[in-house]
A = this chain, B = another copy of it.
Amino acid sequence: MSLPHAILTALLERPSSGLELTRRFDKSIGYFWSATHQQIYRELGKLEAEGHIRALPPEQPARGQRKSYEVLPAGRAELERWTAAAQDPKPLRDALLLRLRAAAVVGTAGLEGDLRRHLQLHRRQLEEYREIERRDFPPGKDGPQDRLHHLILRAGIDLETFWTQWLAQALEELPDLPGGPGGGTDVTDGTASSDGARTTPSR
């Protein structure tokens, strides 16, 4: 039940059309709550039906027919309620850790390449966050909103930092591990997928 609140937040920050929201959910709020345009349009419809937002009359000579929405008092109240309400943290769910656990049983063959790719992606994301920090939060700036936004950004930075470090360490340890199926315990029929390329101890 967070998507409507993500949208309310975004619309309070700036009234927008569906497409503008979609664009903004590729950055900014989307960094920690992503959404596709289909989700957004559907949710805009619901929020309007509930009286939480309304379409703005097209003041500019609307080219295309984009509808912009703004938040109504009821919507703001709902967002306040939700923000203050207690919510349990969701348990971690990470496919990469699961794959490593699986690899402990069936072997690490074929894993290294994708770990390397993930490392690159996380490094890139980390760089992007740091760039934003340099640009938007220079030393002098610290209004109350800035402080909160900076805090959120630092969560992103620290998380990406964790992943890059952890992945780098995983890659260091990986080449020493058996690559094929039957990596530890089990009887293995030896017929299964062999993969030559992985014997390179790259590093």
- Which residues of A are interface residues toward B (Cβ below 8 A)? 2, 5-6, 8-9, 12-15, 24, 27-34, 73, 76-77, 79-111, 113-114, 117-118, 121-122, 132, 136, 143-149, 151-156, 158-159, 162, 165-166, 169-170, 173, 176-178, 181, 183-189, 192-201
Cα distance, A10 to B90, chains bound together (Å): 22
Within the assembled complex, what's the spacing in Å between the Cα atoms of A48 and B152? Answer: 45
Query: Which chain B residue shows the least CB distance to A106?
Result: B80
B106 contacts A83, CB within 8 Å?
yes
Give chain B residues whose Cβ lies under 8 Å from the Cβ of A32. 92-94, 97-98, 101
CB-based contact B196/A145 at 8 Å: yes
Chain A interface SS verdict (over half):
helix
In the bound complex, CA of A177 to CA of B196 (Å): 49
Instruction: Tell me the complex Cα distance, A104–B80, Å.
Output: 11
Residues of B within 8 A of A194 (CB): 14
Residue of B nearest to A103 (CB): B83
Total copies of the chain: 2
Q: Check B148 against A199 for contact (C-beta < 8 Å).
A: no
Q: Report the nearest B residue to A178, measured CB to CB.
A: B144
Judging by beta carbons under 8 Å apart, are A122 and B9 in contact? no
Residues of B close to A176: CB separation below 8 A: 144, 147
- Selected A-B contacts with CB under 8 Å, 5 pairs: A28-B200, A32-B94, A73-B189, A92-B159, A149-B199
Q: Looking at the assembled complex, report how far the CB atom of A89 sits from the nearest CB atom of chain B, in whole angstroms.
A: 6
Q: Are A109 and B84 in contact (CB under 8 A)?
A: yes
Please indicate the chain B residues that have their CB under 8 angstroms from the CB of A147 in the complex.
Answer: 173, 176-177
| Docked pose: A77 CA to B182 CA in angstroms | 12
Contact in complex: B93, A33 (CB < 8 Å):
yes
Question: Could you list 13 further interchain pairs (A-B, Cβ under 8 angstroms) beyond the known A76-B181, A82-B102?
Answer: A5-B98, A14-B194, A14-B197, A28-B197, A28-B200, A32-B97, A80-B107, A84-B193, A85-B110, A89-B118, A105-B145, A144-B183, A158-B162
A173 and B98 CA atoms in complex are apart in Å by: 35
